[in-house]
Amino acid sequence: MVEERQYIGPMGGSRPWQHPAWQRWQGWRPNLPSRCAICRAWPAQPICDTCIARFAQPCPRCQGCALPVPRGVLRCGACLAHPPPLAHCLCALSYAWPWRGLIAHFKYHAQPGWDRSLTWLMRGCDGAQDLLHAVDTVLPMPLARERLAERGYNQAWLLARRLAPDQADAGLLLRVRHTPPQRSLPRSARLANVQGAFAVEPLRARELQGRHCLLVDDVMTSGASLHSAAQTLLRAGAARVSALVLARTEAHHDDHEGP
């Protein structure tokens, strides 16, 4: 029987870089020479500490959909009225300048080496360390075979294996249907677009029984892809599914996205 490990919750609303877990990871970082991709300072990490402090300020977010909420609010009204299939959904950044351009380069223009810097930010968001310790397996949002062949790598897998090398698994959740990019579709079309797009590897379905799974992705827009993947895992026997994403668009609740 699988031992239930509980998610403890946010780090009391403190700034992530003041939290001991963040400071431990800061101390672990290799001192490699580079230029900051934002301010172009040299020498620096790919994203320098000054730019992190300036542009990655934490804000209170709903634990169900990761949209901004007033301080002290854990779940927004929409998630209370219509609970999503995700037990928790955490996000590090708003999908806005300067992160929008950096994530696009990471995703589309052969910048896979940035995964280390971007996962520092994901680990530093409120509640991420507790959630990573609470889950049993970490699953990247999968790409369709056609898109993987076109891009050459899955950016979600790069993030997942950096976040949890011993728990990340790229072969358990599959994308079985190639779909148009979610970003170009309205919400209603996004929901229909990803229906039936995901499946669990049939020979490994037993591995999900009673497990707490964590989905990892780079950008969340409406939540349609994450919700569809979570429902697939729950139907296959997972006890709980949570999500940790790098960035979240400031979408309205009635416009609640994917790869």
Task: Set out the domains of the chain in order of their start, with CATH numbers.
Answer: 58-255 (3.40.50)
How far, in Å, CA of 86 to CA of 4, rounded? 17
Specify the pLDDT at position 192: 59
178-204 pLDDT tens trace: 665 555 556 666 665 567 789 999 999
173-175 and 198-200 beta bridge pairing: antiparallel
Amino acid at 32: L
Over residues 195-215, the mean pLDDT reads 93
pLDDT at 32 over 60: no
If one compares 123 and 44, the residue with the highest pLDDT of the two is 123
With 0-12 / 13-18 / 19 or more C-beta atoms within 10 angstroms meaning exposed / middle / buried, residue 239 is middle
Reported confidence tier of residue 140, pLDDT bands at 50, 70, 90 = very high
Report if pTM > 0.85: no
| Residue 88: pLDDT band with limits 50, 70, 90 | very high
- The reported pLDDT for the residue numbered 237 is 97
